[in-house]
C-alpha cells in the first residue's frame, strides 16, 4: 500500500552544489536539501516506528530524514529526485515480509545428506598412512 507524502510535511531548502562545474556551481544554489520529520508526519505508526529504528545516515537522532539531491542543474529536477528518494525510503519501510514457517527436512534429503557424509568419510580415511606388512 503506497503512502502519500504531503508537501506541507516536507521542507525544502536550496543550497550550493558540490564538486566541479565552473562558475555555475559557485553562483547558483541548485542543490536541494529535503527535510522530513518522521514524528510529525501522517504516516502509519508502524512505518514511523520502523523508520525510527533504522540505523541510516540519512535519519538524524531527532527523527528527521535529510536527503540531498544535486545531480541536476535544475532545482525542480533536484526536488523531484529528492521526493522520489523519500518515497522509495518510505516504501521500503512499509514492506511487511511474510513470516517464515520452519519445515522439517524430508526423508530423502536426510538420506542424501548421510550418503554424502559416508562418501566424504571414505575419501578422508583413504588419505591415511599405508602399512606394508611382509
Residue 118 reports pLDDT greater than 90: yes
Using alpha carbons, select from 2, 67, 64, 77 the residue that is nearest to residue 38: 64
Question: What distance in Å separates the CA atoms of residue 46 and residue 36, rounded to the nearest whole number?
Answer: 17
- Does the pTM exceed 0.75? no
Using alpha carbons, select from 78, 79, 56, 69 the residue that is nearest to residue 10: 79
pLDDT tens per residue across span 52-62: 998 889 899 99
Q: pLDDT at position 128, please?
A: 82
Report domain extents, the chain: 7-94
Q: Distance of CA 60 to CAs 8, 53, 102, Å?
A: 20, 11, 37
The band of 98, judged by pLDDT with boundaries at 50, 70 and 90, is very high
Burial of 51 (0-12, 13-18, 19+ CB in 10 A): buried
Cell of residue 44, nine digits: 502509519
CATH for 7-94 is: 3.30.160.20
Amino acid at each position: 500500500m503506497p503512502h502519500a507524502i504531503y508537501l506541507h510535511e516536507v521542507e525544502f531548502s536550496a543550497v550550493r552544489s558540490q564538486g566541479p562545474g565552473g562558475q555555475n556551481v559557485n553562483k547558483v544554489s541548485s542543490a536541494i536539501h529535503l527535510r522530513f520529520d518522521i514524528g510529525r508526519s501522517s504516516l502509519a505508526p508502524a512505518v514511523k516506528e520502523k523508520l525510527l529504528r533504522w540505523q541510516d545516515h540519512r535519519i538524524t537522532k531527532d527523527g528527521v530524514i535529510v536527503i540531498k539531491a544535486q545531480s541536476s542543474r535544475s532545482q525542480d529536477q533536484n526536488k523531484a529526485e529528492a521526493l522520489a528518494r523519500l518515497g522509495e525510503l518510505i516504501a521500503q519501510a512499509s514492506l511487511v515480509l511474510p513470516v517464515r514457517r520452519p519445515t522439517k527436512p524430508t526423508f530423502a534429503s536426510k538420506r542424501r545428506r548421510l550418503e554424502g557424509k559416508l562418501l566424504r568419510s571414505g575419501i578422508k580415511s583413504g588419505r591415511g598412512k599405508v602399512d606394508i606388512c611382509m
